Chains A and B, each alone.
Chain A
């Protein structure tokens, strides 16, 4: 026990650290003390500016002088890799007792080299807690430092940030920002000291104040817009946000000022979205009369608010053929019956020529109300939008379920969308059967009003194609009947 020879029995040693994050200094002193077998209860560690230890009242210079001298051939002091990793982080914690704790664990490691594995040991646990909270602080620093750009006198941009860490991490974490922003000139100012990088050299500076950092940056407006837009008001989870971004960080985050108003507006915004798409929950109509009544009262889309009436389908339940148009026109709306206007007359002519009996078929529209704009005194037809067709599909589906046609003839793309739920190309789909969910066949052709808008050779060509389509439907109907 040569070391014990220069440790006076019962004497107490006070070590004064030059900086609160000086792990290397602690390591040096701790190694010497252990080599001299100084037990933990006879060492105190004081930080710069910290209150002196009761037993170390002599002051730094004298107590340093009194430190024992290790023997000429000291034994090696050992610590596990895990201890070193944890200790490097824990040394940065703001807990004033951290260096004492580190020394106690290091002391115990000399007799129990695997101490760090015993996670249920209170001192090991405390050390791990300190290290964890330092790592978390460092991680939050990587995340929440916000640079503001200022122009230097030589015209080069300089990025300056103000940050308030909980622990003594600024010097240790400067390397992260150096690796990330190696070719940028930047400074991070904190109440625990500041660091400056000019693209080549890292400099350390004294503690700073918030006023030393620039007050604004025009890009922050864009960032706030982004923050407000990426937030989904339909899934408000304030607790999840607060656990990761506690309020203490908010004052230095430009986007955080929006949070209260975003939360306040969220429920209203979600309610508006749901209300806009809402349809009253209702039972499927049990008869065609109920469809007619229900459609007349339906206000699920804006077309119904034009002051028109809903035009119900016509025909018997059990009809083999169902003919679906786009929507009632001006004359249909007045008469309250489908396909009675010019397009209806053209359709009747063609049906008669093809030998299809309209009275035996069920005739209806994909959209039940007339959509129009005023042009002078005239109501000018407007095509329904995809959403309006999809909304009105509820009634068309109900009609199909009640009539149960074996063949559905869709006139035009809107009717096809009403039946299929997607937009298809009429020219590509015409002339062949498409199988619907309930087993019925869907045949798609153009709307007769399309023929009315053409003239000359084009009209002749399209009329012939339309007649062909109807003939094919007639043949198919005959096959289904037989």
Chain B
């Protein structure tokens, strides 16, 4: 085959990397390039430098070092049995691309992953080498996210965490049975073992920094993971349960859900029908309910329908509220924060505004309208000085009144 140009390889290896959902560049230690030799800064808040027409933000240069792979995971475009063009970068090429993009303010940093070549250890060493050149030779102070290969030795993974802001290991599928069937070369125990070791390293490094100011940081932006939704038959309840266990056990910053999407040259084992993108969205919403709204995983699962899946036409918080009407209406002038957070249509910011304002005035419906995004959504579930939805909350057809109408398309 003719020598591929840098641009061709960039196209192949970016295309191969796009099925990783994560692109976050937030929540890491603050650093900047003042007094250094290179470029780069991270100031807490992530920055999305562009948005692709798929609605996803482009914050990091997200590429694979190579898409050659000795594994044969059915859902993956890079599995060894797929008929896809292959390419690879040298670590130096990735470093040059990252710096060239960074200097032009295209990106916040690098998200590097790789297919497994030769061995897990060899591949992980190559990934770490890229991070090392960036940090040590170019004094790069931007964001680095390294995908960790759970089959690699702990020492190599550890070396990566010393350079990276975030490390991640994908659990890939919500159930062990799904993993065995669709990713025969991977092992659930091995993946969770590596996540556990990473968690231990992160908390150890945090503890050391409390005692010694110059102790090295280890992945200051923590670790995250990704699950594919809709490739196996796990229900939303099962996925939520798995995610909450992962958050609890491994102290993850984020669990990403990636709706299985058609890939070129798909394996025949996969389902042909893709799950609706809305399902992924509902899972993120339930994720938020657990992380910011004080919902327990069982409570989110309560919002699911009989088959264990969340309703697609309404969000999980509204679904929960419609099931547990006895908790409503909530008095916005008296209710504690936890109860206000349960009201559909009130987000964390609106609740904070209500709590601050009600020290100064007794809220009326008009005041609430100023503090929230949509009064119509909130109204059936709250009481104010001049409003009680007594009849509304008890109506059997409440769901029909609230659910967004589906529009019948006109003949064209």
Please report A residues at the B interface, Cβ cutoff 8 Å: 114, 117-122, 125, 139, 142-149, 159, 161, 176, 178-184, 217, 219-223, 225-241, 244-245, 253, 255, 259, 262-263, 266, 270, 273-274, 276-279, 385-387, 390-391, 393-394, 421-423
Contact = CB atoms under 8 A, between A and B. Distances in A.
Nearest to B264: A273
B39 interface: yes
Give the residue among B15, B39, B105, B356 with the most A Cβ atoms within 10 A: B105
A385 B83 contact: yes
Nearest to B8: A225
Nearest to B13: A229
A68 B388 CA distance: 53
Chain A interface mostly: helix
A230 B105 contact: no
A229 B18 contact: yes
Interface residues of B, number: 77
A142 B47 contact: yes
A196 to B, nearest CB: 16
A423 B268 CA distance: 14
Given A142-B47, A230-B18, A277 B266 contact: yes
Give the residue among B7, B32, B39, B103 with the most A Cβ atoms within 10 A: B103
Nearest to A180: B41
A77 to B, nearest CB: 22
B82 to A, nearest CB: 8
Nearest to A256: B50
Given A182-B32, A227-B52, A234 B81 contact: no
Give the residue among A182, A217, A226, A232 with the most B Cβ atoms within 10 A: A226
Given A179-B33, A223-B104, A262-B53, A118 B360 contact: yes
A232 B101 contact: no
Given A145-B105, A217-B104, A273-B262, 8 more contacts: A147-B105, A232-B261, A234-B263, A241-B51, A245-B50, A385-B81, A387-B265, A422-B184
Given A225-B7, A277-B262, A422-B72, A237 B103 contact: no
Contacts of A390: 81, 267-269
B156 interface: no
B122 interface: no
Contact of A230 (B17, B47, B181, B272): B17
Contacts of A423: 72, 81
A276 B264 contact: yes
Contacts of A222: 6-7, 10, 97, 100-101
Contact of B55 (A121, A143, A241, A422): A241
Interface string B31-45: 011111111110101
Contacts of A143: 47-50
Nearest to B100: A219
Interface of B: 6-7, 10-12, 14-15, 17-19, 32-41, 43, 45, 47-58, 61-63, 72, 74, 80-83, 97, 100-101, 103-106, 181, 184, 259, 261-270, 272, 274, 277, 353-354, 356-357, 359-361, 363, 367, 370-371
Given A232-B18, A277-B272, A225 B106 contact: no
Contacts of B57: 244
A225 B262 contact: no
Given A230-B62, A234-B262, A273-B264, A184 B103 contact: yes
Contacts of B7: 221-222, 225
Contact of A263 (B53, B74, B81): B53
Contact of B277 (A118, A235, A277): A235
Contacts of B49: 143-144
Contacts of A149: 103-104
8 contacts: A119-B354, A176-B43, A180-B41, A222-B97, A225-B14, A238-B53, A390-B268, A391-B268
A386 B79 CA distance: 11
A221 B101 CA distance: 11
Given A223-B101, A237-B53, A241-B52, A230 B58 contact: yes
A227 B359 CA distance: 49
Contacts of A147: 103-105
Given A120-B370, A422-B184, A225 B10 contact: yes
A273 B263 CA distance: 6
Nearest to B359: A117
B411 to A, nearest CB: 21
B100 A159 contact: no
Nearest to A217: B104
B14 A230 contact: yes
B81 A241 contact: no
Contact of A237 (B54, B267, B268): B54
A229 B47 contact: no
Contact of A235 (B54, B104, B105): B54
A235 B103 contact: no
Contacts of B269: 390, 393, 421
B5 to A, nearest CB: 10
A245 B360 CA distance: 38
A121 B100 CA distance: 48
Contacts of A421: 74, 181, 184, 269
B98 to A, nearest CB: 11
B351 to A, nearest CB: 11
A214 B106 CA distance: 17
Contacts of A263: 53
Give the residue among A237, A266, A278 with the most B Cβ atoms within 10 A: A237
